[in-house]
Structure 1
């Protein structure tokens, strides 16, 4: 039986009113300080004075600034909030819902996270997929989706920049940027070590040591090692190739060398690597009750029924050099980056054993068997940025530069047969993709008056991409050829204003554009080669940022509206067993975001954040194939089995996202401290696919965490017990659409303990 190649989980959002004008947005933002507030950055910020918040410094505009003075929606995760999430051995998906409008999901497990900001992302599961959310790690873009899964450890924090970032970060940023910055080498010896142990034999070891070499040179080495035992049993009553699953060993290291910190010439060198060996995402056949989105009554998260092999291996290495020259009135930066990744992920896509033509089969009906793998090899990414920025005092500041990007790699698509051939390889095709891009950009800030500042920026980008497929021993549809080239150029930019209405309170408004480069889909057994033109986004935003009550509280809030033209969408599965690259004429999103940090007392810190996002696909002629076994609720198309998706929300776009953190501190007379920390996230229902159906709709999900700890020795030592997903809420959070009601679920409840020591 011919099978479709590699799966994905696909998801959605919600409707829309009309576009608000900038004037109405600003008017609404001006009213916000007088309204009830709930939500700001999810950091449990430590204070230099009891009961007072520290200033949040961000680098969203490529230089250090007070977050309250940057005219865009920025949310950060730092310190204890980040450490609490990381202690249980989770991957980047742990950040989902922790800041307004952010969702992260994956059909590959710990590899290949897919990011969505304000409901805008890309559900494409192919290894050459591009995303409209860019991930920046230590000033280097991680373009390939496999690179985006590099773990967070020894980190200064995470910055989420919502909305188009089309000037300073450029292409493939129309939805926003997720930015990670590692702790840099320091001039004094020190470091930390952290060891966590928890459910399912989970261990999480993290540490760093900072070693000054002499007056000019400093070094820092950081490591993280995560392990989990296999805790899911494969109980298929046929020959099994993988008996125990869901374990992993995920190890990463980073070494940095800094020269000349604080002098006219400085150089920061960074080398990093990751190795992952574990399970691919577990697909579970027929776990959804027909006519509902409930799990079947006998669902057991610790059991699967697979006849195929499941494994995932990933290795990556990278290096960067950031050189800075300081002159009178300006600085020059040269940032060179190199990344290389190799991956292989194999899974039993049909989620069961046997098939209708080769019984026995189960659980439930397995129309046909599908076992595939994807591999990425010969990957290389080179980036080079040359940037100048002003440093002179005065009302005018500026920065500008050039950017170059080159990437090339091979993608291998494998198929296997566990029904008749004992899991032997039955097919292999290889696709090669090359991508070159260059850009010129500039940004100007000008203070018209002490309380009124303007920002403006422009970027010109040219992209070129070529793809070619060697079908090998696989029969593919070559009616459109086996190779293709796309190219294009685009000017993007932004214009923003900040008005200081009083000390500690700023209003801002921003108009910004961004775009995602053209994409190519290789030929397969079910579809010819296809491509899609670049998509563009125009966004309007206004908000307020304020510190209140002598820095005991901080609030930010914004409203926004965006329009996307020619949005690239991926339609997968359905009765036709297809994978199609589509372009919607238009889609839109709009909503509201708010964050709040507040000391309710000197020892009680509250962090709240939340968002409302409404998205809609706007293309009356756009139709997709429906699912094979689910209940589609969209209007039928003229071709049997197709459905109109005009008016549907975007996939993986929850309308509501909320996060609440509460930390209570109990100081002791000897300077030690007991504390209780709890964090809760909520996201409303989501669509997995472009069409709407009863079964393939994710239920609303609320998850909570609890941490009890003791800190002593002037803050050098900490011992804590924790639990994640304490209510043990398990729901279907993704699906495979081409065979049956196959889905995958979120992580179950876990418990653990952590010890951390500073030196």
Structure 2
């Protein structure tokens, strides 16, 4: 009974909000017409999305979607933050990382993957310009010169090609066109921040056009090392650059869009800070200072990636034919002081707090390449029936190096080396159709057959102290197939209000984990673990409405899903290993609200809200808990093979906040012809989250509320703008992740940034 009450309250609250918005619109239709016409009121533009691989009004698509336009993306990213700035800015979306800017982990409706291995798969797919970005290192490509971002919640396994049981985050760049346009944006601020981005595009010939866009961002090191013998004197700085060039050919019946892009990142990996959590609580220890650290390890990160794509479309009368070819490659190394401190408890000097033993490691991706190919055919204005069908192929080849280093020896020499290699090939066939059953009711459905094969091998080439001996290779082979599908219906009550219902089945192929440096010598297959396929079925009903004569737009849905065999990763623990496993079942349910409204002609408000209730349902599932007896485990525990394990049945999923709320307000003040001032503020709240599968008092992140502010003056009809801005303006400091095997080490959110920005559009 107690579990059902929050869900009931959530649904009543969201339903009341929907009715409150709809009622004035209904009453307005009954009111007598004014004899004197008022001046035109501000109205919302129609939002076009490609969630179903066609351009459609978001109002008509039977999927829970949030779309972010270029202006909002630019404002949210003005502090030079990476893609994580989208976290909690969209209902049911959380993004975090233990690698800093290099390796974002996405969660939708609580479904995600906390695995930090470079071979990890995620149930949230990121699609950039129609090409899936499978490697976690590819998912951090900077956000610039984008037309829009769409977040599609729930299984999307019919029309999108890789690992989408939780949803899809879809990025679309601004395309070249025959109309010349561009912009330059530059900003400077505290912490040595400097941002630059710009783009220009236009015609080359009557048939060809092009667009070039680029970004450069930097920030100084702002955390000082108080340990005099430490090799790093300061950390947390970075410099990053990225570029994209596109060529578009538009001929008679043929459109061809070519894309080349590149990224370079040089900076520090995530800064782990030893014993910043007060034992028995999730508070900072007294005297915590975010501007200092005390470490004896090296901390750095370097990443280079590039890729290209060719997207072709032939218009052949009653059908369109598409061919999308994509190539991606990335080379990366991330090295960090995992124990977060200096020395060790068995030495004369160590700290801060208790450092049982030192740990410094690195993960590198010296070889990676990904090919994707899709062929798709779709109907072209067939009347009541529209359809599309296609084939998809994916081929990825990776090699991963894992290193251990001796922080207690001058020069921090290498003291351990393991390798992983994997070849993953997938192909799929899919079809989807929608049919106008009546003028008011449209039925949609789709099906996808997927065959996935992985060949994996791992070896220990140099044993780490207290780790596994030299050995291997340890091979694993998987070969599975599955059928995903979805069925939905849209009922039009009137031109402004649509109701929809959707049921969908998603699938994620098996995963393999081979972090062997600290595995037990007696571990089966050298410590390599794997998880079988996971399958999810999701149910969703919702309403989409244009209200107040298109001065407001509403989207609201309730959902429930069941995951069979969910892939989970038990990371850390006293053995400092990572182990893949499957839970019998996971249950999730909740509600989501998206609202955008002109409160007055000069005040635009957006509101997003979500409630997610997740639960692991597996009475016998046990995972290792924190090492060195440092944490306060609140789950029931058992002793297995001499170690302490927590029973996690009934726990929520990690990094799955129950509540997410976000609010933006944009108030404008005209100041003469073509000029004006506007004030924009944005706020994002997420409730508490667990960091790990088991629950401990220390490893539960507190609720977070971060805000941004921008005051801008524009002139020449918006062609020029100067603004002052701030991100995390209250300078909130939160522990957002932890390392649990050695001590109470944690890492924190980004600090307050502020600056001045100038933009010119042409």
Q: Shorter-chain TM-score category?
A: over 0.9
CA drift at 1:699: 0.3
Partner of 1:693: 696
From 8, 11, 19, give the equivalent of 1:34. 19
- Partners of 1:669 and 1:530 lie apart in 2 by 67
Partner of 1:513: 505
- Partners of 1:28 and 1:682 lie apart in 2 by 17
From 125, 145, 150, give the equivalent of 1:159. 150
Alignment of 1:309-324 (within 5 A): 309-324=298-313
- Partners of 1:720 and 1:670 lie apart in 2 by 19
- Partners of 1:534 and 1:18 lie apart in 2 by 33
Alignment of 1:292-371 (within 5 A): 292-371=281-360
User: Conserved in 1, the CA contact under 8 Å of 2:197 and 2:215?
Assistant: yes
Decide whether aligned partners of structure 1 residues 645 and 479 sit closer, same or farther in structure 2, where only a CA change above 3 A counts: farther
Partner of 2:27: none
User: Conserved in 2, the CA contact under 8 Å of 1:16 and 1:589?
Assistant: no
**28-37 vs 158-167, greater mean Cα deviation:** 28-37
From 721, 724, 732, give the equivalent of 1:721. 724
From 197, 202, 217, give the equivalent of 2:188. 197
- Partners of 1:85 and 1:600 lie apart in 2 by 22
Secondary structure of the structure 1 residue equivalent to 2:638:
coil
CA drift at 1:309: 0.6
- Partners of 2:670 and 2:15 lie apart in 1 by 39
**567-576 vs 182-191, greater mean Cα deviation:** 567-576
Alignment of 1:597-612 (within 5 A): 597-612=596-611
CA drift at 1:130: 0.0
Residue by residue, what CA displacement relative to the aligned partner does 1:413-463 show, whole Å, maximum 9, x if unpaired? 011112024311112221111100000000010000111000000000000
- Partners of 1:529 and 1:266 lie apart in 2 by 47
Determine whether 1:658 maps to 2:667. Answer: no
Q: CA RMSD in A?
A: 2.0
Partner of 2:269: 280
Partner of 1:10: none
CA drift at 1:578: 2.7
Partner of 2:47: 56
From 700, 706, 712, give the equivalent of 1:703. 706
- Partners of 2:16 and 2:602 lie apart in 1 by 30
**602-611 vs 295-304, greater mean Cα deviation:** 295-304
Partner of 1:633: 634
Residue by residue, what CA displacement relative to the aligned partner does 1:239-296 show, whole Å, maximum 9, x if unpaired? 22111111101100000000016x4101000000000000000000000111111111
- The total of aligned residue pairs comes to 730
Residue by residue, what CA displacement relative to the aligned partner does 1:49-90 show, whole Å, maximum 9, x if unpaired? 752100000000001000000001000111321111111100
User: Conserved in 2, the CA contact under 8 Å of 1:428 and 1:471?
Assistant: yes
Decide whether aligned partners of structure 1 residues 158 and 477 sit closer, same or farther in structure 2, where only a CA change above 3 A counts: farther
Secondary structure of the structure 1 residue equivalent to 2:278:
coil
From 193, 212, 219, give the equivalent of 1:221. 212
Decide whether aligned partners of structure 1 residues 18 and 532 sit closer, same or farther in structure 2, where only a CA change above 3 A counts: farther
CA drift at 1:480: 9.4
Alignment of 1:74-85 (within 5 A): 74-85=65-76
Partner of 1:754: 757
Decide whether aligned partners of structure 1 residues 20 and 452 sit closer, same or farther in structure 2, where only a CA change above 3 A counts: farther
Determine whether 1:678 maps to 2:681. Answer: yes
Determine whether 1:414 maps to 2:403. Answer: yes
Partner of 1:136: 127
Partner of 2:442: 453
CA drift at 1:626: 1.4
Decide whether aligned partners of structure 1 residues 606 and 574 sit closer, same or farther in structure 2, where only a CA change above 3 A counts: same
From 250, 271, 277, give the equivalent of 2:240. 250
Partner of 1:571: 570
User: Conserved in 2, the CA contact under 8 Å of 1:171 and 1:515?
Assistant: no
CA drift at 1:318: 0.1
Partner of 1:495: 487
CA drift at 1:310: 0.7
- Partners of 1:210 and 1:714 lie apart in 2 by 20
Decide whether aligned partners of structure 1 residues 29 and 572 sit closer, same or farther in structure 2, where only a CA change above 3 A counts: closer
**314-323 vs 162-171, greater mean Cα deviation:** 162-171
CA drift at 1:211: 2.9
User: Conserved in 1, the CA contact under 8 Å of 2:225 and 2:232?
Assistant: yes
CA drift at 1:575: 2.5
- Partners of 2:448 and 2:406 lie apart in 1 by 50
CA drift at 1:308: 0.7
Secondary structure of the structure 2 residue equivalent to 1:160:
strand
- Partners of 2:304 and 2:326 lie apart in 1 by 17
User: Conserved in 1, the CA contact under 8 Å of 2:181 and 2:201?
Assistant: yes
User: Conserved in 1, the CA contact under 8 Å of 2:515 and 2:578?
Assistant: no
- Partners of 1:26 and 1:293 lie apart in 2 by 30
CA drift at 1:577: 2.8
Partner of 1:482: 474
Residue by residue, what CA displacement relative to the aligned partner does 1:464-519 show, whole Å, maximum 9, x if unpaired? 01111232112637999611111100000100000001111000000001111101
Partner of 1:504: 496
**28-37 vs 181-190, greater mean Cα deviation:** 28-37
- Partners of 1:31 and 1:421 lie apart in 2 by 65
> Greater relative contact order (Cα 8 A, min sep 6): structure 1 or 2?
1
User: Conserved in 2, the CA contact under 8 Å of 1:730 and 1:748?
Assistant: yes
Decide whether aligned partners of structure 1 residues 212 and 29 sit closer, same or farther in structure 2, where only a CA change above 3 A counts: same
Partner of 1:743: 746
- Partners of 2:19 and 2:461 lie apart in 1 by 66
User: Conserved in 1, the CA contact under 8 Å of 2:345 and 2:355?
Assistant: yes
Task: Give the TM-score normalised by the residue count of structure 1.
Answer: 0.94
User: Conserved in 2, the CA contact under 8 Å of 1:231 and 1:302?
Assistant: yes
Residue by residue, what CA displacement relative to the aligned partner does 1:580-630 show, whole Å, maximum 9, x if unpaired? 111100001000100110101000011001000000000000001111311
- Partners of 2:653 and 2:709 lie apart in 1 by 33
Partner of 1:647: 650
- Partners of 2:487 and 2:13 lie apart in 1 by 20
Secondary structure of the structure 1 residue equivalent to 2:610:
strand
- Partners of 2:415 and 2:15 lie apart in 1 by 63
Gaps of 5+ in 2: 23-38
- Partners of 1:396 and 1:477 lie apart in 2 by 62
User: Conserved in 2, the CA contact under 8 Å of 1:29 and 1:544?
Assistant: no
User: Conserved in 2, the CA contact under 8 Å of 1:478 and 1:529?
Assistant: no
Secondary structure of the structure 2 residue equivalent to 1:637:
strand
CA drift at 1:33: 3.3
